[in-house]
Amino acid sequence: MIRIARKAAAVALATAATLTLAVNARAQTGEKELGWFFTGELTAVWAAGNSQSNTFGLASSLRYVWKRAQVKFEAGGVRAESSLTTRTAIGTSPEDFTLEEETVTRKTAEAYYTRGRYDYNVSRRFFVFGGADWLRNTFAGIDSRFLVAAGAGNTWLDTDRTRFKTDYSATYTFQEDVVDNPFLKRNFAGARLTYDFWSKLTSTADFTSVLIADWNLDNTDDIRLDLTNALSIAISSALALKPSLQLLWRNDPALTEVALVESDGTPTGESVRVALEKLDSFFTLALVLKL
C-alpha cells in the first residue's frame, strides 16, 4: 500500500509540474487563462497506542473557464472516528488477576457535500448563474439536503490582488432529517445571499472568505449561515498548505432523539425529541494540489 501511494504521489507531482509550466507560459503572454483547472485537498490525522482516533478529509474543485462563462464542480467530505478502551481487572487480589480489554469505535463527525454551478458574465460587473448542491451531515441532523438555486450577482472588485463578489438567488430545497420534525415541511422555497472574497496577502499567501446565507421562506425562523475562512500558503507552484475554519450556524436546528430515564436512572423504553446545537465548526489543515 505504501509503495502504491509513493508511486501515485510521484505521478501526481510530475503531472503538477508539467501543467504548472504550461500555466506559467500562458500567464507570461498576458492572455486570460482558459480551460480546465483542478484543485485537490487532503486532510488526515491518525493516533494509535493508548488512544486511538482517525480523521480523514477530502475536497476537490474542477472548473472550466470560457471568456465570458465558467462551470464549476466541487465535492468533499470529512469523517472522524475515535476508539474508547475499557479495562477490567478480574481476580481475587492485586497480585492475582487477569486484565480484560474491550474497545468500542464510534464515529464522532461525518459530513459530505457535492455542488455544481454555471456562471455567465453579462457584463464586467454583472453575471447570472444557476446551480445545485447536496449535503449530508448526520451529526447536525441532516440525512440529505438537495438545493437548487438561480439568480444574479455583482463583481465589485476584480484585480490581480483582490476579488469581491456578491450574488442573490431564489432556491428550492428537498430535505430529509435524521429525526423527522412533523411540524416542518421537507420541501420548501427559500432565498440565498452569498459573498466571495479573495485577497493576495503576499507572493505566497492568499486569504479567502466565503459566506452563504440561506433563508427558509416557509419557516422564517430557519436561517442558515455557512462561513468559511481559509489561508493558502504556497510551498511550491503546485502545492500549498491550507488551514481553514468553517462555521455552520442554524437558528432553528434539527432534532435528535434522547432516551428517557426515570430519576433513579431506570430506562423507560421511551425517547424524547430535543433540538441540536445551533453551531458546528470544522478546523482543517489540508495539503492542496493545484493543476
pLDDT score for 32: 64
| Residue 98 placed within a domain | no
Averaged pLDDT, 260-276: 86
Averaged pLDDT, 143-162: 95
The reported pTM is 0.80
Same-domain pairing of 13 and 132:
no
| Residue 100 placed within a domain | no
90 close to 106: Cβ distance less than 8 angstroms: no
The amino acid at residue 23 is V
pLDDT, tens only, 196-227:
999 999 999 999 999 999 999 999 999 999 99
Same-domain pairing of 71 and 131:
yes
Is it the case that residue 97 has pLDDT exceeding 90? Answer: no
Is the pLDDT higher at 269 or at 32?
269
Same-domain pairing of 236 and 111:
yes
Is the pLDDT higher at 99 or at 149?
149
pLDDT score for 45: 81
What is the domain-level CATH number for residue 210?
Answer: 2.40.160
| Residue 112 placed within a domain | yes
Q: Could you tell me which of 153, 161, 239 has the C-alpha nearest to residue 198?
A: 161
Is it the case that residue 143 has pLDDT exceeding 60? Answer: yes
Burial 136-165 (b: 16+ CB within 10 A, else e): bbbbbbbeebebebebebebeeeeeeebbb
Averaged pLDDT, 10-23: 40
Domain region containing 220: 66-78+106-290
| Residue 71 placed within a domain | yes
Same-domain pairing of 74 and 10:
no
Instruction: Return d(Cα 285, Cα 9) in angstroms, integer.
Output: 19
Averaged pLDDT, 256-270: 86
Question: Side-chain half-sphere of 14: how many Cα atoms within 13 Å?
Answer: 6
Same-domain pairing of 135 and 176:
yes
Which contiguous run of DSSP H or E holds residue 23? Answer: helix 2-28
| Total domains present in the chain | 2
Of 27-41, 183-197, 228-242, the one with minimum mean pLDDT is 27-41
The amino acid at residue 25 is A
pLDDT, tens only, 19-75:
344 344 444 444 568 899 999 999 988 877 777 788 889 999 999 999 999 999 999
Same-domain pairing of 134 and 272:
yes
